[in-house]
A and B are shown apart, each in its own frame.
Chain A
Amino acid sequence: MRQQVLVLYLASSALDSDVVGWSRYDGTGRTRPTTGDGDEPPYSTALAALQDGWRLFQASQLLPPHPGHEYDVSFPKHEFFFEKLEEGAHP
């Protein structure tokens, strides 16, 4: 079995909020997703991904801002990792 990984970046910490960013990593080696390879997200929300069989295995923690850095912006904040297990080995 090989792991397909889907990373979704959401508009808020709620799983039914809009997808604003995404990444794909293919453990089967059948596809080669890469930076900037699409303009439309694979799902409109993370909930839609769950309904399509993706299994959530990591979610961003809700961390309070560091004192003095309350107005800083940095990495996309609401990051969720999903997987599907599929048959197939790397060629």
Chain B
Amino acid sequence: MRVKTNQQWTISAHDPDEPGPYVRRMPTSKHLLTSVQMARFVAQGFLRLDGVVPQEINERALATLAEGIPQVPYGAPLSGAFTRDTFIHGLLALPDVAGAVESLVGPEPTVDHHAVHVREPHEGKAQALHADAIIDVRPDAFDIQLMYYPHDVTPEMGGTLSVPGSHLRRINETDIGRVQNLRGQTRLTCPAGTVVLVHHGIWHSGRRNDTAHRRSLYKLRLNPTVPQVRLWDTSDLHDPAVTAELGTYFPWYEQAAARLEVYNRVLLWRALTGDESFDIDHWVTRVSNRPAPRRTA
């Protein structure tokens, strides 16, 4: 039985098309992510939205970042954390940004913290490769970090280095710091107004800025307050491209560990969809198979 409420289709647990206790979500004005985009996030650990922020907000942001941003208490509800006259409010109200945030961490996330990160002109060195905060191995929940670049980032400006598919690797902060380069790494260049949403575990670094100009970015970490289950537009949930995204191998993976990466993504996808039967190439099913003894009459 379907009930249309508040621009979303709700499907009951008894719907023959989609059995399960969770709401099946359809597109709204917030531009929710598709299942294929979510699967890409689960595989890569980030989602990139190039040039989605209008120049008017970029200019306000640059002025604000130069002056500094006010503190926000840990755990403040996002909906009330930033007044309407701030660039941050405008940024988060953009349909592409709002939809991506809601798809990843749900409605009413809370603010973990926010910050301005600056790479000074001719700084001479990069940050060590790291994951933020402390080791965080939650199997069925994740925070996101919104990284907003209000100006163009050229190769010489030392745009953020990130390592696709590193977010499920269990390391603690800069313990990974002696690794300088990994094949397939992303050295960000982007137009002004680009937003990158990253999983909390992604390996990254502020690269060396070899120009005479400061490079600034605004970072906002968000915590979910609801189970992160089917929060996106799931109308393409069974698209074969979902499995293709989840099975992506990256050039820096070891041959054997690459299979474990897929195994771990399957577990995360099961958690995000509530579908305990999902698998890719039998990786999880095979090693979970422990038949019980057969009863004899």
- Taking Cβ atoms with an 8 Å cutoff, the residues of A that contact B are 7, 9-12, 17, 19-24, 32-39, 41, 71-78
Contacts and interface: CB of A to CB of B under 8 A. Distances in A.
Given A22-B180, A73-B168, A73-B257, A37 B264 contact: no
B255 A11 contact: yes
A17 B170 CA distance: 24
A27 B76 CA distance: 48
Given A21-B182, A24-B180, 13 more contacts: A12-B255, A20-B183, A20-B251, A21-B183, A23-B180, A32-B125, A34-B208, A36-B129, A36-B207, A76-B182, A76-B254, A77-B256, A78-B254
B186 to A, nearest CB: 9
Nearest to B162: A36
A73 B180 contact: no
A60 B192 CA distance: 43
A4 to B, nearest CB: 14
A20 B128 contact: no
B295 interface: no
Interface of B: 124-129, 158, 161, 168-171, 175-183, 185, 187, 205, 207-208, 251-257, 260-261, 263-264
With a 10 A CB-CB cut-off, give which of B124, B170, B183 has the most chain A CB atoms.
Answer: B183
Contacts of B177: 35
Contacts of B253: 11, 20
Contact of B126 (A34, A41, A75): A34
Nearest to A41: B183
B161 A35 contact: yes
Contact of A20 (B125, B182, B260): B182
Contacts of B208: 34-37
A74 B208 CA distance: 26
Contacts of A77: 254, 256-257
Which has the most chain B C-beta neighbours within 10 Å: A19, A22, A34?
A34
10 contacts: A7-B179, A12-B254, A12-B255, A35-B208, A36-B126, A36-B161, A36-B208, A37-B208, A41-B181, A76-B179
Nearest to A7: B178
A36 B170 contact: no
Q: Which of B124, B127, B128, B180 has the most CB of A within 10 A?
A: B180
Contact of A35 (B124, B175, B180, B260): B180
A7 B125 CA distance: 19
Contacts of B129: 35-36
Contacts of B254: 10-12, 20, 76-78
A73 B182 contact: no
A41 B224 CA distance: 39
Nearest to B135: A74
B169 A73 contact: yes
Identify the 9 closest CB pairs spanning chains A and B, nearest first: A36-B161, A35-B126, A23-B180, A21-B182, A34-B126, A36-B207, A35-B205, A20-B252, A74-B170
A72 B179 CA distance: 19
Contacts of A24: 180
